[in-house]
């Protein structure tokens, strides 16, 4: 068996890590980042729409986000959507723009966010292990059809475990980095 046989599974595992990193951007680490708004949808004319599609988002200083909608009628809708989200920030509406001031993270909030990061990491590890299981099922089916030998199956098992271990280590490293970022003051 050559590495091309495992490539599709390795790519799936890489995509799992990319999804986890995208989820990490929604976890705020004490400074304003427009990515925290990516998960928030506004009911804009009956259609759930991401904020960045109906407004300009800017960062005038490290602790503030400014949302300036293109249609001022959507100002109240955006404000309600931010309040309903789990950001824990009260938007300030001045009639033209919405200002989100990110307070300094408390120790308790940092611990909550760290738990959330660990959950994302654990979910990603489960997904990677499921990909390995799917690969092994495929190769075991090939073995049953006598398309590969028992030795090939054992080698596949070792190689898939090695690929899985590499991806899980990468996930652990990313979780550790994000956690360290959360605890920086």
Please report the domains of the chain, with CATH numbers, ordered by start residue.
4-25+106-183 (1.10.132.20), 34-101 (3.30.1360.40)
Neighbours of 137 (CB within 10 A): 10
> Which pLDDT band holds residue 185 (cuts at 50, 70, 90)?
low
Residue pair 167/13 in contact (Cβ under 8 Å)? The answer is yes
User: CA triplet 38, 33, 65: central angle to 5 degrees?
Assistant: 95
From residue 143, alpha-carbon distances to 52, 72, 117, 149 in Å are 50, 63, 39, 6
DSSP 52-92: GGTEEEEEEETTEEEEEESSGGGHHHHHHHHHHSSS----E
Distance CA(155)–CA(142), nearest Å, equals: 14
3-state secondary structure of 76: helix
Distance CA(183)–CA(170), nearest Å, equals: 20
Question: Pick the residue with more confidence: 176 or 61?
Answer: 176
> Which pLDDT band holds residue 54 (cuts at 50, 70, 90)?
confident
- What is the structure's pLDDT at 161? 92
Distance CA(100)–CA(40), nearest Å, equals: 14
Distance CA(146)–CA(27), nearest Å, equals: 49
> Which pLDDT band holds residue 29 (cuts at 50, 70, 90)?
low
CA pseudo-torsion sign 21, 24, 25, 30: negative
128-156 average pLDDT score: 89
Give the largest Cα separation in the chain, rounded.
71
One-letter-per-residue 3-state SS of 130-182: HHHHHHHHHHHHHHHCCCCCHHHHHHHHHHHHHHHHHHHHHHHHHHHHHHHHH
Residue pair 95/67 in contact (Cβ under 8 Å)? The answer is no
**Residue of 160, 142, 161 whose CA lies nearest to 150:** 142
98-114 average pLDDT score: 82
């Amino acid at each position: 068996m050559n590495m091309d046989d495992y490539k599709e599974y390795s790519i799936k595992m890489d995509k799992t890590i990319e999804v986890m990193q995208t989820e990490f951007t929604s976890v705020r680490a004490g400074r304003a980042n427009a990515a925290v708004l990516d998960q928030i949808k506004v009911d804009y004319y009956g259609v759930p729409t991401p904020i960045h599609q109906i407004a300009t988002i800017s960062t005038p200083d490290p602790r503030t986000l400014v949302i300036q909608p293109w249609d001022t009628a959507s100002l109240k809708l955006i404000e309600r959507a931010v309040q309903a989200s789990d950001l824990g920030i009260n938007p300030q509406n001045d009639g033209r723009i919405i200002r989100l001031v990110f307070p300094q993270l408390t120790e308790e909030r940092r611990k909550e966010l760290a738990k959330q990061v660990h959950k994302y990491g654990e979910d990603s590890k489960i997904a990677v292990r499921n990909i390995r299981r799917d690969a092994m099922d495929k190769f075991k089916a090939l073995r049953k059809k006598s398309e590969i030998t028992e030795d090939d199956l054992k080698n596949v098992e070792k190689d898939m475990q090695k690929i899985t271990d590499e991806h899980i280590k990468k996930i652990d490293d990313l979780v550790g980095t994000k956690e360290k970022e959360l605890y920086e003051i």
